[in-house]
Amino acid sequence: MNFLPGQILPINSNFWPDDITMAVMALVIKSEGDLLTLCPVHNAPEFASFFDLIIPANKNSLGCDLVVMSENQVCVEKSAIHPKVWSDPNDPYIKKCLVMPEDEKKRIIDDIAYLQQNTTIPAAFKVMRGQRLYENSFEYRWRTHLTVQWESFHLAVLLAATEEKIEEYPAYMNLRKVLETICNNFDSFCQAGSRWLEAFEADMTAGMAPSAANARHARDGVSQISGLKKSLENKISEEGLMNARNARLLKGSVADLLELAFRTSRMR
Amino acid sequence: MSNVNDDSPEAAGVSAESPKPKPNYTTFISTIRQKQPRSIFSTEVADDQAADEFRGQREHIIAEINSFLAKEPGSADQLVKRIKSLIRNHYPASEYLDNPVWTEADLEDRVQDIWETMFSPENTAFRNLAQIDAAGMLNIMRGVIRRVLEKHANPAHRAFYNEIVEQIGDDDRFDRYPRHGNFSYLGLTRWNRTGKDSSKTVDELVSFWKESGIKFPDMCLTFLKAGQRMDLCCEMLDKLDRWLVANHFYLAYKRLVNYPLSFIPDHYSDNDDDDGEYDISYLVFSKKRFWVEQEAQRILAENCDAWEKDFDEITKKWDKTRKEFLYYYYVRGIDAGQAADRVGMRPSYATQTFSSIKSSFKERSIKYSREEMAAYMLFFKVYAERFSPAKGGDAE
């Protein structure tokens, strides 16, 4: 099944953290093979920030308010989408998502591009967008929490996808150890984003009850992830595949490294 | 983010213990694949006794909600009863209401709001599309209850949250760990090396700190500046010399300084005349939170060209200092005194500026509806970004 940009689909709740306090769907931004670029969609306009697109219920075929968090795009494997989309496409709600009109999908993608490019008055408000949120506000905190949940979803999907096909990954990536490290420090990696190395070191030096063994374990963890980063960097350079996207992924979060490993393993 | 009102176990009065080790690889994968439903009723409980009592009821409550979701007759009433009980027992009226106790009418109001938010046709449609199962619905309802209660919370509660909880979260000295297991901890860096944690209950902590020789201000009578507040918190942790469950600290602090306040600092005041009509001066004068609705967005989209011209005209006469002050106050959300300090002025500059703006707006004393005001505020927050010092504090 191919998904087109602009399609809004239910996510696979198995990968969503337990403490869900808001229903979230996903908007497809791009589809390339087994990978989908998604951004989160919720239905609470009061939490929309300045770069979130608001699509009111009367202006979309799904019949509910939609808020697209356009800044939170992540690239994940297809298993991020709810399995019912494949197993039961005739479910009335799944069907409603799948038959979204083409022009509506296109309009959403166009509006997102417009919203990101136009940030000054009066152009900024020609599309319906959220407001700038004060850092201490309830809305800001709520949205930040949702962003961390989304990041955790991102990492969990890639982690499970990597684990499932681990035999297909080249040995030089040493992914078994890497996955173990990620699992043991899952929350830290979700919160830290691209600052994973700093976060790891902070955890190591300020652990709750550090012992020599824990510290050594943490150092091993850093070296596992750093090792993956280095080997991917070498491989990409050797193959002449260093481009803007790969360079960005190399500098990104642990989930970005897993995405790069996924892509690199399929380039062989 | 940790929260005095969150639903973490420490909020449920569970005694402090060292954070548990992270799940290993295999258990983690199985955890993310087989999630367990959580109860919407696992919210904060003020003391351990209530928590124990509550834990005993939990299974029963879940069963009731599940039966409601299966549309069994009478379960809606039971759910309403449970929501009311939850609000009454776990959201103190002094913080979430202007009265000292929850009346039946207040509870009805909140339940009505929760009901409408949770089961509005649009929200139901979204949940169906998102394929949310019963367990997910329970969790979402927990969020909705919190959202509705927070929306109507006493400004003093919000002031406490912004002045203490948020600042502690931003201050490295507290080594705040919201993510270790299910606990949120506070403690100074050197305690990392000791690994000692406090098992004192909130009552014991209050007694301990009362006897420890720290001078606690009566926050009903005085207003502490940010630096003093943080010094006080550091001193409290210093005396205890232990890691501490964050929520125990917050609850004890509130009691020791006599929170909630009987007066509200200006910049948190929400109690302006809420007759549904707003003067334009309200725009730069208040930080009242409007829950922006679709109507406001529509008004904004239709009027922003005209408003831009109006505001260019209005702000033409404003000097650079005033613009920068408004940038810090309004766009960055810094409180008025600190914003004045940022532009090199005394705190009284804030009051003078507000008065001056208010009087200059008098000639344009048009009254706006709530939606129009919300749209105006959305607009002005973006407009005022032009006043940023980085942009020369000028509107062009």
Angle at B214 between CA B212 and CA B216, to 5 degrees: 125
Which candidate in A120, A208, A214 is best for mutational testing of the B interface (most B CBs within 10 A)?
Answer: A208
Which candidate in B17, B18, B25, B170 is best for mutational testing of the A interface (most A CBs within 10 A)?
Answer: B25
| DSSP, res A131 | B
Closest CA in chain B for residue A162? B29
Place of tokens 């417009």: A114
**A268: Cβ contacts below 8 Å, ≥ 6 apart:** A170
Question: CA of A144 to nearest chain B CA: how many angstroms apart?
Answer: 8
pLDDT of A184: 78
Q: How many Cα neighbours within 13 Å face the side chain of A28?
A: 25
pLDDT of A212: 46
Interchain proximity B383–A131, CB inside 8 Å: no
**B275: Cβ contacts below 8 Å, ≥ 6 apart:** none
pLDDT of A76: 95
| DSSP, res B20 | P
Nearest to A63 among B125, B185, B378 (CB): B125
pLDDT < 50 regions, chain B: 1-61, 190, 262-275, 287, 394-396
> Average pLDDT of chain A?
85
**Residue A104 near residue A60 (C-beta atoms within 8 A):** yes
Interchain proximity B381–A14, CB inside 8 Å: no
Q: Where are the beta strands (DSSP E) in B289-394?
A: 367-369
Closest CA in chain B for residue A27? B130
Pick from A154-168, A188-202, B316-330: least confident: A188-202
Is the pLDDT confidence value at A127 over 50? yes
pLDDT of B32: 40
pLDDT of A60: 92
pLDDT of A27: 97
Interchain proximity B36–A184, CB inside 8 Å: no
Helix axis angle, B134-151 to B48-69, nearest 10°: 120
Nearest to B292 among A22, A45, A160 (CB): A45
Closest CA in chain B for residue A16? B32
pLDDT average, residue stretch A69-87:
94
Pick from A23-37, A54-68, A249-263, B299-313: least confident: B299-313
Question: CA of B125 to nearest chain A CA: how many angstroms apart?
Answer: 6
Give A205's contacts in chain B (Cβ within 8 Å): 192
| Segment B84-136, tens digit of pLDDT | 888 887 777 767 877 778 899 999 999 888 887 887 778 888 988 998 877 77
CA dist A95 and A88 (Å) reads 9
Interchain proximity A23–B126, CB inside 8 Å: yes
Closest CA in chain A for residue B33? A14
Question: CA of A41 to nearest chain B CA: how many angstroms apart?
Answer: 10
Please tell us whether the domain made up of A8-133 is placed in CATH 3.30.1490. no
Give A19's contacts in chain B (Cβ within 8 Å): 7, 38, 139
Per-residue pLDDT band for A46 (boundaries 50, 70, 90) equals: confident
pLDDT of A11: 96
Closest CA in chain B for residue A183? B25
Is the pLDDT confidence value at A6 over 80? yes
Question: CA of B363 to nearest chain A CA: how many angstroms apart?
Answer: 25
Give A155's contacts in chain B (Cβ within 8 Å): none
pLDDT of A83: 93
Question: Which of A150-164, A204-218, B126-140, B233-247 ranks highest by mean pLDDT?
Answer: A150-164
The structural domains of chain B, with segments of one domain joined by +, span 35-152, 159-256, 277-391
Cβ-based contacts under 8 A for chains A and B: 179
pLDDT of B260: 60
Which candidate in A22, A77, A120, A129 is best for mutational testing of the B interface (most B CBs within 10 A)?
Answer: A22
Is the pLDDT confidence value at A258 over 90? yes
Which candidate in B40, B382, B383 is best for mutational testing of the A interface (most A CBs within 10 A)?
Answer: B382
Tell me the longest C-alpha to C-alpha distance in chain B.
70
pLDDT of B70: 61
Supply the ipTM of this predicted assembly.
Answer: 0.87
The structural domains of chain A, with segments of one domain joined by +, span 8-133, 165-267
Q: How many Cα neighbours within 13 Å face the side chain of B91?
A: 32
pLDDT of B181: 54
Give A23's contacts in chain B (Cβ within 8 Å): 126-127, 130, 132, 136, 140
Whose CA is closest to B155, among B257, B349, B280, B286? B286
Interchain proximity A210–B192, CB inside 8 Å: yes
Per-residue pLDDT band for A189 (boundaries 50, 70, 90) equals: confident
Task: Tell me the C-alpha to C-alpha distance, in Å, between residue A109 and each of A8, A74, A97.
Answer: 11, 15, 16
Question: Which of A62-76, A163-177, B115-129, B140-154 ranks highest by mean pLDDT?
Answer: A62-76
- Specify which residues B271 forms β-bridges with: none
Interchain proximity A131–B292, CB inside 8 Å: yes
Nearest to A180 among B25, B127, B179 (CB): B25
Question: CA of B386 to nearest chain A CA: how many angstroms apart?
Answer: 9
| Segment A89-112, tens digit of pLDDT | 999 999 999 999 999 999 999 999
Interchain proximity B129–A10, CB inside 8 Å: yes
Pick from A79-88, A113-122, A198-207, B219-228: least confident: A198-207
Q: Which amino acid is at A114?
A: Y
Q: What is the pTM of this model?
A: 0.71
Interchain proximity A10–B130, CB inside 8 Å: yes
Question: CA of A238 to nearest chain B CA: how many angstroms apart?
Answer: 32
